[in-house]
Structure 1
Amino acid sequence: MSARTARHAFLDHPGPIAFAHRGGADGPAGENTLSAFKIAVDTGYRYLETDVHATSDGVLLAFHDRRLQRVTDAKGRIRVLTAAEVAQARIGDEPIPTMADLLEAFPDARFNIDVKEPNTIGPLTVLLRHMNAVDRVCISSFSDTRLAAMRAAFGPALCTSAGPREAFRFWRASRRLKPGEVPEADLLPPLDAACLQLPPALGRIVVVDDRLLAAARTVGLPVHVWTINEAADMERLLDLGADGIMTDRLDTLKTVLTKRGTWS
């Protein structure tokens, strides 16, 4: 079953998807905290974006960095620390939440999970099966190898975004299009992904534009853009046809979508 024909409950949503990036990293509670995710859910966000690392004893943490020191009062690399050691760290006055904590605390939410290290793959596979949460997640990664391992574990039942090599091949194919041209599906590279999750640009190189979105629409790939914090940029990308926006600024995106009549 190809990604072009597969349907995932995760992507079943009317209108553009609003993602709370790290729970709303620009909010008052601190990124990737239980309080941040609660604020997001209370604000009306159903889609929560987070990252996952595993401790040395296999406990999955919702945390972005490999090391603790940027956002906590502790130091050290997560993969070499035990869960008990990491449990002493605080983001403000909160512990780092586990991925199990989040899935349990917000049973109606859907999670976009960025797999940060190879040692997360086994524990995450076990957790998603144990909590029957496969339909609630989309797995992303900056590593094609980690994505391949997650896909191998679950097959087409798992929603995944395109890895770096897949995304580059698809973007490069879209460069051959003329503005306004509708591409033929057979001229675009097949992907094992169910969606594309991309930055709007890399330096001076525009990534998400009308050609990329036209190519994605041809093969039924939703395009989610990260991390967009200015209202004008949100409006521009939505006007182009972006299918989702990831943001640190929850109120800004909600206001933009509400004005457009697409907040859901």
Structure 2
Amino acid sequence: MAHPYLERTPRPRVLAHRGLVGASERESGVVENSFAALAAAHAAGVHYIESDCHLTRDGVVVLFHDEDLRRVTGDPRRLRDVDLRELERIMSGRGGLVTLAQALEAFPETRFNVDVKAADAALPAGRLVAPVAERVLLTSFSDARRRAALAAAAVGRPEMRPATSAGSRTIVRLLAAVAVGSAAAVRRALRGVDAVQVPERQGAVRILTPRFVRLVHAADVEVHVWTVNDPDDMRRLVDAGVDGIVTDRADLALDVLGAAG
């Protein structure tokens, strides 16, 4: 049975990558993972927002991708060295800072795909999402961080865990199983996983193949591909059996794929 996170929403799934920053938002100085970017994605009609989280110096889980502020704000400091109030000031002209708690409260019908980017954010993030586990997917490139967040969520709500997607070590085991065509090994690798979220290629290595999609689906796990912004690629991947598209152009994807509703 599918996790509630994956139920009663249109397919293919469109996951708004760090919210939505369209032309009008960019002109206003809005940046990714800001409150305004999340609001724009919500206004476009998406059911899923993909975001990332870190922990501030004073222990607040905030939505932010990088470990430091340099790329987004020009400030070289790390997130863990800045407290919430100062981070709110820095982000005030960039669409507004949003904490994980604020995002879950402000968009109560939206389903969040939360990538835990820092080890110290795993436990507090897990605790925060526990009450709304049916509409959250927890993930991380680090399987250890992912499992720590899931364990924290389970303490708060043991009867309902968040959905989850595979970390990098799990993906390596999965690819080895796919290479030999073993459905049993694929199922073992993906035990407890609801979705596999991968790029179509990693360098010269093609990850997404017909065999990959077939074997992952045989394990009752969805396939989501990131980050896809070209309409033709969106259509091609959906035709290949992909269940979800992670994209910077959620508005375009909803139009191209007809996934709104």
Q: Tell me what 1:189 maps to.
A: 188
Distance 1:198 1:220 in 2: 16
Aligned CA distance change for structure 1 residues 64 and 187 (closer, same or farther; 3 Å): closer
Q: Cα 1:25–1:207, aligned 2, differ >3 Å: closer, same or farther?
A: farther
The answer on 1:217 being equivalent to 2:217 is: yes
Identity percentage of aligned residues: 37
Could you tell me the TM-score, scaled by structure 1's length?
0.87
* 1:72–1:91 CA contact under 8 A, matched in 2: no
Q: How does 1:199-214 map to 2 (within 5 A)?
A: 199-214=199-214
The CA distance in 1 between the partners of 2:183 and 2:128, in whole Å, is 40
The equivalent residue for 2:2 is 7
1:175 counterpart residue number: 179
Higher helix share: 2
- Unpaired stretches in structure 1, ≥5 consecutive residues: 1-5, 178-182
* Selected match of 2:161 from 151, 154, 157: 157
Indicate conservation of the 8 Å contact 1:24/1:248, yes or no.
yes
Other structure's SS at 1:52 match: strand
Are the counterparts in 2 of residues 200 and 206 from structure 1 also a CA contact under 8 Å?
A: yes
Find the counterpart in structure 2 of residue 198 from structure 1. 198
Partner of 1:3: none
SS at match of 1:48: strand
Question: How many Å separate the matches in 2 of 1:30 and 1:234?
Answer: 24
CA distance in 2, matches of 1:186, 1:87: 46
Matching residue of 2:157: none
Among 16, 19, 31, the alignment partner of 1:20 is: 16
Q: 1:189 deviation in Å?
A: 3.1
The aligned residue for residue 232 of structure 2 is 232
Q: C-alpha separation between the residues in 2 aligned to 1:187 and 1:115?
A: 24
Residue identity opposite 1:66 in structure 2: E
Count of aligned pairs: 249
Report the RMSD for the aligned CA atoms in angstroms. Answer: 1.9
Name the CA distance, whole Å, in 2 between partners of 1:189 and 1:126. 27
TM-superposition CA deviations, 1:140-177 (whole Å, max 9, x none): 10111101212323457221100111112112211224
CA distance in 2, matches of 1:89, 1:263: 34
What SS is found at the alignment partner of 2:72? coil
8 Å Cα contact 1:68/1:76 also seen in 2? yes
Counterparts of 1:226 and 1:185 in 2: how far apart (Å)?
Answer: 26
Deviation at 1:73, TM superposition (A): 5.1
Q: Is 1:49 aligned to 2:50, yes or no?
A: yes
Aligned to 1:78: 79
Shift of residue 7 of structure 1? Answer: 3.2
Looking at structure 1, the residues matched to 179 and 240 of structure 2 have their Cα atoms a distance apart, in angstroms, of 16
- Is structure 2 residue 241 aligned with structure 1 residue 241? yes
Asked if the contact 2:174–2:186 (Cα under 8 Å) also holds between the matched residues in 1, the reply is: no
